[in-house]
Amino acid sequence: MQRNWKTPLFALVCCLGAGCSVPTEVYVIPHSFIGWVVVVVDNPKCTAADHVGKKTIIYIQDDGFSCTSTVLTNITVYREYRSGSGEGAQLPVGNPSKGGLIWSETHVSEARRDGALLLKFIEFFVGPEELSKTPGTHADPLQRAVTHGIIPESAIK
């Protein structure tokens, strides 16, 4: 059976022309923020993320932390990083020659202690790539969760 390459191409062009959308996580980062961002996900102690169509909007606090009860999966098709109120400029990902400002993105990770799940989180760095590699600057997701009252300090001792 011979496949017609025009059919999928036609469907893609129609979809794009009609404004189809894919699931997107939008991270709204405070203007001029530089540092590691930790987003705790799927946590009942936190509020749900905002949703606009197929976009899940996650607001990052001034210290680079956020927490949501929303379940984020590793199958999200697209991520956007925006500066300011969410309507601000989209921050470029990777590629230092093009002014990249987002580095070391992770999928949903799990922090466990003695086999028990303590936390699900996503992390990434905002700023110049060379700063993301500076020793001692990486955020500790567990400590950040303790600081924000998501898990008790005794859970990480």
Please write the tens of the pLDDT for every residue from 96-153. Answer: 777 789 888 888 899 988 888 999 999 999 999 888 888 888 888 999 999 999 999 9
What's the pLDDT score for residue 64?
95
**Residue 11 in domain:** no
Tell me whether residue 5 is in a domain.
no
Counting the structural domains of the chain, the total is: 1
pLDDT score at 138:
85
Q: Which residue has the tokens 């086999």?
A: 115
Within a domain: 7: no
In a domain, 12, yes or no: no
Contact 54, 61 (CB under 8 A): no
Percent of the chain whose pLDDT exceeds 90: 45
* 13 within a domain of the structure (yes/no): no
- Count the neighbouring beta carbons within 10 Å of the beta carbon of residue 72: 20
Enumerate long-range contacts of 50-57, CB under 8 Å, 24 or more apart: 53/21, 54/21, 54/22, 54/23, 54/24, 55/21, 55/24, 55/25, 55/26, 55/80, 56/23, 56/24, 56/25, 56/26, 57/26, 57/28, 57/86
How far apart, in whole angstroms, are the C-alpha atoms of residue 84 and residue 88? 5
What's the pLDDT band for 43 if we cut at 50, 70, 90? very high
- Residue 8 domain flag: no
Lowest-pLDDT choice from 61-70, 74-83, 116-125, 135-144: 74-83
Among 33-47, 66-80, 84-98, which stretch is predicted with the lowest mean pLDDT?
84-98
85-141-150 Cα angle (round to 5):
80
Residue numbers of the domain that contains 105? 20-151
Residue type for position 81: Y
Q: Is residue 2 part of a domain?
A: no
Q: Is a pLDDT exceeding 70 seen at residue 19?
A: no
Q: Would you say residue 15 lies in a domain?
A: no
